[in-house]
Amino acid sequence: QAKQTILEELDQTERLDMLLDILINETYILSIEKDIVQKARDRIEDNQRDYFLREQKKIIEEELGEDDNPSAEAEAYAERIYALGLAEESENALIKECKKLMRMPYGSQEASVIRTYLDTVLDLPWNVATKDKISVTKLRKELDKSHFGLAKIKERIIEQLAVAKLRGSQDGQIICFAGPPGVGKTSIAQSIAKAIGRKSQRIALGGVRDEAEIRGHRRTYIGSIPGRIMTAIQNAGSNNPVLILDEIDKLASDYKGDPTSALLEVLDSEQNNKFVDHYIDIPFDLSNVMFITTANDVSQIPAPLRDRMEIIELDSYTREEKFNIAKKHLVPKQLEKCGFTAKEVKFTQSALYCLIDFYTREAGVRTLERLIGNVLRKCAVKKLEDEQETFKITDKEILEMLGHKKFTTDKLPSKDEIGTVNGLAWTSVGGELLPIEVAVMEGTGKLELTGSLGDVMQESAKAAVTCIRSHANSLGINPQFYKNKDIHIHAPEGAVPKDGPSAGITMATAIYSALTGKPVKRDVAMTGEITLRGNVMPIGGLKEKSMAAYKSGIKTVIIPKENEADLEEIDPVVKEKVSFIPVTSFSQVVPIAIVDVPVISEKQWNAVADNTVTTKSENIRQ
């Protein structure tokens, strides 16, 4: 068409102008095409360069074992996931993560998060379990070898494991060892794991305030990790370890959540077979895990959590138990730590009793162990300075090495005294002798109570006075004593707070002795709550109280009749030396405790009480 236009033009000048315009246009088009071709060629060269470098990088990383092929990596993860044989929902959730990883560049932050998650999940022991070596005889021997005493705990553990062996699976109540510090709660839990061939992990819960510590952090947060439960499972390397939840009563709550509530699912055998950690985000079966918790104060554990656990109380060690623990466990342990052999250093029986009685006041044996170590360190110095080869530690050497006695034992009065009765008290570090003193003076019927007595103990003192008043005739006391006599009841060591109803019959006996002027037998002690009618009610802590009576040289202990079954727990050494007399009424206490007092017949005692009740009923009707 351009050619035809040029040929039709007759004017040569115009024809040349038209041709020039066409040539200029063609030249411009050719220049553009040249630029495009050049740019295309440059880009192809760049791509070839990048491709070449990328291929070199791949070969280098393959040689170093750092292949970053997303597809190959995702396929490797998928193979491991299928090999676990998880539930369909869990498997699909993990495969979904693998597909995400496949679509992402190797170095991206999101890919790194997914990779860390998959590594954590796949490292969990989903199908790895240790085989229990449950032999009741061997288990009992192993526990007796590692711990002295603690008969209740050992028996309960043996029962649970025997049932687990018969059933072939672990599905039982969560056990909580509760007791004062230093009595061996954590160590016996670890010994249980060792005895049955399971791996154990200890989780310290003291001071934990964040719910995420138990359930884990969600993956949306930077630096998120699984909770302590799943971390312990991963560290144990099996799905049926013994998890020791230490100091469960020290958990606290704040704005970050309540960790005690998070433990409700963990410690419920009906629910924990599908425990979901926020980080793992798929169910994990905790039903095969053996949970053992420890606590000092059960009252600090929330009621729903406490309801899921079987509480086993550990009492403070008695004097005899401490002696055997020191002899069989603490001394050999400290000898090894200080570089001595059993032939080089020998502790006599008197030395160990000296340490227990005069240098420690504790429920457990931690201070006792430290003192034994202190003595052995002094022996080590003597061995190096004086080149002394052997040491025989007696009570005299203990006094020389450790200085004056820190505590004194309770001593009986030198003679029978009027108005002074030996009571028995329970403390967190064992039993103690609690003497009660009563003085009767001319006055107007006032009752004075001193000795830092708590509200319950003050009420118990008032009940004792009323009991004496209501039975004054049968006891041979002037019924009008409450009008012209002031009574002062005192518990020595006035700075030490005291409370509880178990000194009721002790105070009643002291009041009777002071009013009649008859002395109380110095080698008799008693414990029991008293009612207005003179009935003796049961008390707690009889094991510790009996040990206190034994240490103090008491020959006879009066106890409530309902506590007679508790005598089975009393140390055999105590039973041999101390006579226990169960009573149901204060009328039975008086002839046993007071010197030269005739027996009060039950008929006479009950008649007085019935008349008292009748009189009160008539007054109420009036």
Mutual orientation of helices 136-146 and 151-167 as an angle, nearest 10°?
A: 150
- Nearest-angstrom CA–CA distance, 277 and 515: 70
Place of tokens 């009576």: 549
- Nearest-angstrom CA–CA distance, 87 and 63: 37
Secondary structure in 3-state letters for 142-193? HHHHHCCCCHHHHHHHHHHHHHHHHHCCCCCCEEEEECCCCCCHHHHHHHHH
Q: For the chain, how many residues are written?
A: 622
CA dist 456 to 147, 452, 494, 503, 518, Å? 37, 12, 16, 10, 28
Contact 436, 510 (CB under 8 A): yes
Burial code (b: 16+ CB inside 10 Å, e: under 16) for 443-482 equals eeeeeebebebeeebeebbebbbbbbbbbbebbebeeebb
- Whether residue 31 lies in the annotated active site: no
Catalytic residue among 513, 545, 546, 585: 545
- Nearest-angstrom CA–CA distance, 419 and 437: 6
Contacts of 72 (CB under 8 A, 6+ apart): none
Place of tokens 């009060």: 600
Label the pairing between strands 200-204 and 309-313.
unpaired
Catalytic residue among 191, 200, 460, 502: 502
Contact 558, 590 (CB under 8 A): no
- Nearest-angstrom CA–CA distance, 240 and 182: 28
Residue 296: name the closest of 221, 190, 185 by CA.
Answer: 185
- Whether residue 545 lies in the annotated active site: yes
Which helix (H) or strand (E) is 229 found in, with range?
Answer: helix 228-236
95 is written with which tokens? 């495969």
Active site residues: 502, 545
